[in-house]
Chains A and B, each alone.
Chain A
């Protein structure tokens, strides 16, 4: 059930909202839970079994962790300091086992349901090379909806309980709602329990301002998805689907169009998600912060898919970097110069980017996509010191501009790897960028794609509107979604304009393929 479909908006969201309005404040979350269960069962009936197993294990482990912490607190006051210390150490070990088992279950389910065939094909290829007859079978398993997003939320919750950053939820139904809240389960944002868990189940009342801002945000997301992303989709699909048929100019246009499409699609979806949650009075974290204004690749990833980046930082990068083996490595490299000092960081970065790449999908190209960013960022760290000596004022306007352009180019190459069907295809398309350009090619191609100049104008204007919005955001202006646009009339007018734009300019009908949200596939 796509978030931009009439089915979702009118046959699902509207009834859920109506029930939410009717229920008393303390029980409004029942509507969200029932809606989330129905949404999941409709969208991924077989996946629901895996989610139930996962949720039950997360609940049980978190309760066990909480029980151990409670027992230590009670016993501590009644025993000598030395005994209390021993008990604390023993409980710490038990807690580590529990959290390890829980993470193993979550990762195990993810590996089995999403990655088994990928690893099996690798093992079978190796077996072929060694002349072995025994092979791993190819499993036909249904990948549960949003399992990549769901798993990260489940792990963050149990680790946060282990770290005592949050209190374990006593009510299984409330935990289940946090894990499968229908707007976030498909494409995120990846929420932490302390960000959305309590808010979802808190006593709540209808608030006109939340409703208005939620509708506005949803309309903005629909505009990005239906007017811009869907319009780019046909050009992108056609060129990437027949890579040998097009010259450099069209390939370049398709790569740029894909970057625009992915941003409009994913950030548009997140706007719809955050707008939906706001209707129910729930604020969700931002996932994008004007990423194309970034001056470095590291900054880009702090502004693009923010909740994924912070998840890997908090649950992989920091724990790895601060672990005993890494501390020992740091001691060995300490004092041996800038480059030796980078080794522990580079090793942790390698792990993070390998996992980030594979998180996107069970394919070699996603692994290369992750390693591409690892290589770029490592290069950035390696040249940082000499570059610092060469460029004295990095905040100068020219240097800032160079940084933004350089990052944009790097990101577009990444997008090419991300979108191409295979690595070979990505390489062929990259090579074709250096073939002669002919302006006539593009008009011929547009005709063959059934796109006309009107489509190009709409995409260009849409992209400009998004760019203006991002510029205002970067400049620190207060924007409508932050609830600070003066006057209700201006907001109402904006909602009206967006609805008209989506209705009249939306890319649907005979000429366009209905495109699914891209990240829903992960």
Chain B
């Protein structure tokens, strides 16, 4: 499973039944509230072995599955 599919799968586990396409705005559509973001961060850290800090929690980084993937890629490079 590639990274993007894995991220979508995590999102679907946290918010079952929510249709998530690569470009959907997860913040504006309220798929992700602060409680879900914390659970999502924990799942992403476990899955991709990266450290996500409060400074990484921005609207830009969590706007879509693509944006989350871009953040993960950046954190892996650091």
Q: Is B70 an interface residue (CB 8 A)?
A: no
Q: Is A298 an interface residue (CB 8 A)?
A: yes
Would you call A345 and B55 a contact (CB within 8 A)? no
Nearest Cβ on chain A to B55's Cβ, whole angstroms:
4
Would you call B55 and A165 a contact (CB within 8 A)? yes
Would you call A381 and B35 a contact (CB within 8 A)? yes
The A-contacting residues of B in range 4-50, CB under 8 angstroms, are: 33-35, 37-39, 41-42, 45
Given contacts A317-B34, A381-B35, contact A164 B55 (CB under 8 A): yes
Chain B, interface SS category: helix
Chain A residues within 8 Å of B45, by CB: 327
Would you call B54 and A345 a contact (CB within 8 A)? no
Q: Is A163 an interface residue (CB 8 A)?
A: yes
Interface flags for A290-303 (1: CB within 8 Å of B; 0: not) read: 00000000100000
Chain A residues within 8 Å of B35, by CB: 345, 381
Q: Is A314 an interface residue (CB 8 A)?
A: yes
Query: How far is B37's CA from A318's CA once the two chains are assembled, in angstroms?
Result: 9
Would you call B55 and A321 a contact (CB within 8 A)? no
Most B CB contacts (10 A, CB to CB) among A317, A318, A319, A344 go to A318
Interface flags for A130-173 (1: CB within 8 Å of B; 0: not) read: 00000000000000000000000000000000011100000000
Partner of A327, one of B34, B42, B54, B57: B42
Would you call B38 and A163 a contact (CB within 8 A)? no
Chain A, interface SS category: helix
Most B CB contacts (10 A, CB to CB) among A298, A321, A327, A344 go to A321
Q: Is A360 an interface residue (CB 8 A)?
A: no
Query: How far is B34's CA from A319's CA once the two chains are assembled, in angstroms?
Result: 12
Q: Is B52 an interface residue (CB 8 A)?
A: yes
Would you call B42 and A163 a contact (CB within 8 A)? no
Q: Is A322 an interface residue (CB 8 A)?
A: yes
Query: How far is B57's CA from A313's CA once the two chains are assembled, in angstroms?
Result: 11
Size of the chain B interface, CB-CB below 8 angstroms: 14
The B-contacting residues of A in range 304-337, CB under 8 angstroms, are: 313-314, 317-319, 321-322, 327, 330
Nearest Cβ on chain A to B27's Cβ, whole angstroms:
11
Nearest Cβ on chain A to B50's Cβ, whole angstroms:
12
Nearest Cβ on chain B to A264's Cβ, whole angstroms:
28
A334 nearest in chain B by CB position: B42
Query: How far is B55's CA from A318's CA once the two chains are assembled, in angstroms?
Result: 9
Would you call B38 and A318 a contact (CB within 8 A)? yes
Query: How far is B42's CA from A314's CA once the two chains are assembled, in angstroms?
Result: 17
Chain A residues within 8 Å of B41, by CB: 322
Query: How far is B33's CA from A298's CA once the two chains are assembled, in angstroms?
Result: 10
Query: How far is B38's CA from A318's CA once the two chains are assembled, in angstroms?
Result: 7
B55 nearest in chain A by CB position: A163
Query: How far is B2's CA from A62's CA once the two chains are assembled, in angstroms?
Result: 41
Query: How far is B57's CA from A150's CA once the two chains are assembled, in angstroms?
Result: 24
Chain A residues within 8 Å of B42, by CB: 327, 330
Query: How far is B35's CA from A160's CA once the two chains are assembled, in angstroms?
Result: 22
Would you call B57 and A318 a contact (CB within 8 A)? yes
Q: Which 9 A-B pairs have the closest CB atoms?
A: A163-B55, A318-B54, A321-B38, A319-B54, A345-B35, A313-B34, A330-B42, A318-B57, A165-B55
